[in-house]
Homo-oligomer: A and B are copies of this chain.
C-alpha cells in the first residue's frame, strides 16, 4: 500500500466519519429549537419516533403523508389573507378598465378601502373578486403576476415581505417531518396557482405537493402555441369537507398527520385521525396578541370554534402559540433568501 493511497483512504475515512457525526448530531439535537419544551412538542416528537422505529406502530415511508393548511397554520393570516392583499392590488390596477366597479359591491368597497362592505358581500362577493382578478389570462401569465406582486408587497403591520410572515416553529416542523421521510403537502382553501410560485422556496414544498382551490382552466391553441387559459368559473373550493375529497383525489392515501388552525380544517383532521394506526392531528391556536394576534371562536378570518371543541374528544394536539413557541417569525437575515 503506497503512502498516498493510505492517505487517500484516511481522508475518505475522515470524510465519512465526519458525515456520520454530522448526521447523528443533527438527529440527536433538538429538531424543533423554536418550540418550548411543552406537551405539544413532546407529543410531536413522540409520534415521529413511534412511526419511524421498528415495532407495532411503524409506518413505511410511502405512507408517511402529512398535510398542512396554509393561512394561519404556516403563514400569518392576520390582519387578513395574503391572497386578499393581492386581490385588492389587482382590483385597483384593473379598475380603469371597469368603470362600473365604482358603484358595484364588493368592488366599490375595495376601491374605497371599505373592508366592511367587502365582508358584507359574503362568500359570493369574494368569489366575484377572485374571478375578476384571477382569470382571463394564461396560467403562465398568472404565475408572473403573483411573482411580481410578491417580490414587492409588504405586510401592512410589520413592513416585511409576506413570504417572511411565516411561523418559524412550523417551518421547523415541516423540515423535521421530511427528515423523517414524511412527504409534506399544503392543503389550503387558498388558490392553487397563487401558492405554487413560492411554496418550494419558502416551505420546501414543490408544486406537485400543493393542493388548493382552483378555477376552471382550458387548453387552447393561440397563434399556433398551446396555452392553458384561466376562465372565470370556480373549479373546486378546497375548504372544509372539500379537503378530504381533494386529498383523496390528489394523493389517494389518507394522511397520518394533519395540521390546521380553523374550522375549515376540521374535516381534514377528522379524516386523518379517524384512520387506523398512529395518527396525529394538530391545531395552531392563535393566542398571542402581542407577537401576532389572538383570535378563535368569534373571528371572521380563521374562525376556530367547532374544531376547538372537537380537539379534545378526537385527541388533537392544540398548540398555544403564546406559550409553546419561543419565536413566531424567522429572524430577518434567515428569511430573506
Contacts and interface: CB of A to CB of B under 8 A. Distances in A.
Interface stretch (A39-47, A250-258, A297-305): A250-258
Interface string A217-248: 11100000110100000010000011011001
Contacts of A133: none
A249 B219 CA distance: 12
Interface stretch (A8-16, A101-109, A121-129, A325-333): A8-16
Contacts of A10: 1, 9
Interface string A172-193: 0000000000000000000011
A32 interface: no
A202 interface: no
A219 B110 CA distance: 35
Given A206-B62, A214-B249, A267 B219 contact: yes
Per assembly, the copies of the chain total 2
A184 to B, nearest CB: 13
Contacts of A267: 219, 226
A274 interface: yes
A210 interface: yes
A285 interface: no
A8 B190 CA distance: 56
Given A62-B206, A208-B253, A248-B139, A225 B274 contact: yes
A253 B249 CA distance: 18
Interface size class of A (residues with CB under 8 A): 35 or more
A157 interface: no
B6 A274 contact: no
A31 interface: no
A207 interface: yes
A242 B216 CA distance: 11
Contacts of A214: 249
Nearest to A244: B219
A81 to B, nearest CB: 21
B12 A207 contact: no
Contacts of A241: 218-219
A251 B208 contact: yes
Q: Which interface residue of A10, A219, A228, A244 has the most chain B CB atoms within 10 A?
A: A219
Nearest to A143: B252
A300 to B, nearest CB: 24
Contacts of A219: 241-242, 244-245, 267, 271
Contacts of A9: 6, 9-10, 12-13
A270 interface: yes
A2 to B, nearest CB: 12
Contacts of A270: 226
A244 B271 contact: no
Interface of A: 1, 6, 8-10, 12-13, 16, 62, 139, 192-193, 196, 206-208, 210, 214, 217-219, 225-226, 228, 235, 241-242, 244-245, 248-253, 267, 270-271, 274
14 contacts: A1-B6, A1-B10, A6-B6, A9-B10, A192-B252, A207-B252, A207-B253, A208-B252, A217-B245, A217-B249, A218-B245, A219-B242, A219-B245, A219-B271
